A and B are shown apart, each in its own frame.
Chain A
Amino acid sequence: DQQVKQNSPSLSVQEGRISILNCDYTNSMFDYFLWYKKYPAEGPTFLISISSIKDKNEDGRFTVFLNKSAKHLSLHIVPSQPGDSAVYFCAAIYTGNQFYFGTGTSLTVIP
């Protein structure tokens, strides 16, 4: 049962434009959400997180939005750079330290 879903396996964006990566979840008990970035042959790297009590968190070019009523979160990257090309995973947690990851979206930023 996939409680965290990333329905777009891939996304291509021109350099300088906005990249929007989406994530949907089914469990309303999730209270913390994270985004990880993964390059080939490396482990995932933490990118940004958001608590369920907030609806937005920003860190430089990266902003995460949370819509609890829609059980949806998104990661915005502005402006997109070629070095952002990677696989992005969203993850959700609820009390008990059970982490649930999505299947990932492969982002390609075209120079």
Chain B
Amino acid sequence: DSGVTQTPKHLITATGQRVTLRCSPRSGDLSVYWYQQSLDQGLQFLIQYYNGEERAKGNILERFSAQQFPDLHSELNLSSLELGDSALYFCASSVDSGSYEQYFGPGTRLTVT
């Protein structure tokens, strides 16, 4: 158990809908990262937050957004969902922005039908 929690575990929704994925980092970790893993793909870095502020941005679509709240939990919002958004979404946390050792949650599997 990494100490990072993600909810929900599974999510099935229809095209055009909007969903919110939630992540609680390890106790004491200030940095949160979001990744997308599509079928047969590696982990694609989406975005990083550190202590409530956006720190780095990767291949995140404009239809996606994220935020980190004062209690350090983070939410990833996916809107106007398309079939191709079906994937595993991982959240990871680290102690600070400069720490490269990330601790991953179990992931949320999103299926868009």
Please give the residue numbers on chain A whose beta carbons come within 8 Å of chain B beta carbons, in ascending order.
2, 4, 6, 32, 34, 36, 41-46, 49, 89, 91, 93, 96-104
CB-CB under 8 A for A46 and B43, given A97-B48, A97-B55, A99-B33: no
- Per DSSP, chain A at the interface is strand
Instruction: State A2–B42 Cα separation when bound (angstroms).
Output: 9
Residues of A within 8 A of B2 (CB): 43, 45
* Contact, CB under 8 Å: B104 / A43: yes
* Contact, CB under 8 Å: A97 / B42: no
Please give the residue numbers on chain B whose beta carbons come within 8 Å of chain A beta carbons, in ascending order.
2, 4, 33, 35, 40-45, 48, 55-56, 58, 90, 92, 97, 100-107
* Contact, CB under 8 Å: A45 / B104: yes
Instruction: State A6–B58 Cα separation when bound (angstroms).
Output: 20
